[in-house]
A and B are shown apart, each in its own frame.
Chain A
Amino acid sequence: MAHIATFTRSTPDTAARVWVDDNGEVTWGDVATVVNPWDEYSLEETIVQAKSCGGDSTVIAIGGAINDDALKHSIAMGLQNALRIDEPGADMHDSLVWSALAAGAIRKLDDVDLIIFGKESVDVATDQHTFQLARRLGWTMLSYVAAIIDIDFEARAITVEKTLEQGKQTVAARLPAVISVMKGINDPRYPNFLGIRKAAKARIPVWSADDLGLTLPRPATAVLRYMNPPARDVSTEIVHGENVDAKAESLVARLLEEKVL
Chain B
Amino acid sequence: MSVFVWIETFSGQVVPGSWEALSAARILAKGDDLDVVALLFGTDDHAIIEDSHQRGAATCLVCSDETLLDYRLETYSTLLGELVKSRRPRAVVSAATNRGRELLASAAGDTESGLLSDVIDLRVEEGMIIGARAAYAGKVLMEMTANTNTAFVTVRGRAFPAAPRDDQRQGTIERVAPAPSSDAMPTEVLDFKSESGTISLADAAIIVSGGRGMASNPAEAPENLDGEEATIWKAKHGFANTLSPLAEILGAAIGASRAAVDAGYIPYEHQVGQTGKVVTPDLYIACGISGAIQHQAGMRNSKIIVAINKDADAPIFKLARYGIVGDLYEIVPALTAALNKQLR
Contacts and interface: CB of A to CB of B under 8 A. Distances in A.
B97 interface: yes
Given A126-B117, A170-B190, A227 B334 contact: no
A142 interface: yes
Contact of B140 (A19, A184, A224, A247): A19
A135 B97 contact: no
Contacts of B137: 14, 18, 122-123
B146 A171 contact: no
A173 B194 CA distance: 21
Most central of B137, B154, B337, B338 by chain A CB within 10 Å: B338
A258 B269 CA distance: 29
B153 to A, nearest CB: 11
Contacts of B268: 182-184
B117 A225 contact: no
A9 B308 CA distance: 37
Contact of A226 (B117, B141, B194, B343): B141
A132 B331 CA distance: 49
A167 B146 CA distance: 33
A174 B276 CA distance: 29
Nearest to B96: A127
- Per DSSP, chain A at the interface is mixed
Interface residues of A, number: 81
Contacts of A248: 324, 331, 334-335, 337-338
Interface string B84-126: 0000000000001111011001101110111111100000000
A49 to B, nearest CB: 19
B135 A125 contact: yes
Contacts of B73: 141, 143
B15 interface: yes
A237 interface: yes
A244 B141 contact: no
A229 interface: yes
Nearest to B317: A236
Given A131-B109, A236-B322, A260 B304 contact: yes
A155 interface: no
A128 interface: yes
Contact of A234 (B97, B202, B312, B319): B319
B322 A254 contact: yes
A169 B319 contact: no
Contacts of B300: 232
Given A99-B109, A128-B115, A163 B98 contact: yes
Contact of B139 (A17, A135, A167, A172): A17
A42 to B, nearest CB: 13
Nearest to B302: A260
B297 to A, nearest CB: 7
A236 B323 contact: yes
A221 B15 contact: no
B322 A239 contact: yes
Given A26-B135, A251-B306, A221 B145 contact: yes
B320 to A, nearest CB: 5
Contacts of A171: 187-190
B243 to A, nearest CB: 15
A164 B8 CA distance: 13
A236 to B, nearest CB: 5
Contacts of B135: 26, 123-125, 226
Given A14-B274, A20-B140, A127-B154, 14 more contacts: A17-B139, A123-B136, A127-B105, A174-B186, A221-B145, A222-B144, A234-B305, A234-B318, A236-B320, A238-B322, A248-B334, A248-B338, A261-B283, A261-B342
30 contacts: A15-B293, A37-B275, A38-B275, A95-B115, A122-B274, A131-B105, A131-B109, A132-B108, A140-B74, A143-B101, A164-B10, A167-B194, A171-B188, A171-B189, A217-B112, A219-B114, A220-B147, A221-B116, A223-B143, A225-B142, A228-B140, A234-B305, A239-B323, A244-B331, A248-B335, A251-B322, A252-B338, A255-B283, A260-B304, A261-B206
Listed from nearest, the 9 A-B pairs whose CB atoms lie closest are: A220-B114, A132-B109, A128-B105, A248-B334, A131-B105, A170-B191, A221-B114, A167-B194, A184-B268
Interface of B: 10-11, 15, 73-74, 77, 96-99, 101-102, 105-106, 108-110, 112-118, 130, 134-148, 154, 184, 186-196, 200, 202, 205-206, 250, 267-269, 271, 274-276, 282-283, 293-294, 297, 300, 303-306, 312, 317-326, 330-331, 334-335, 337-339, 341-343
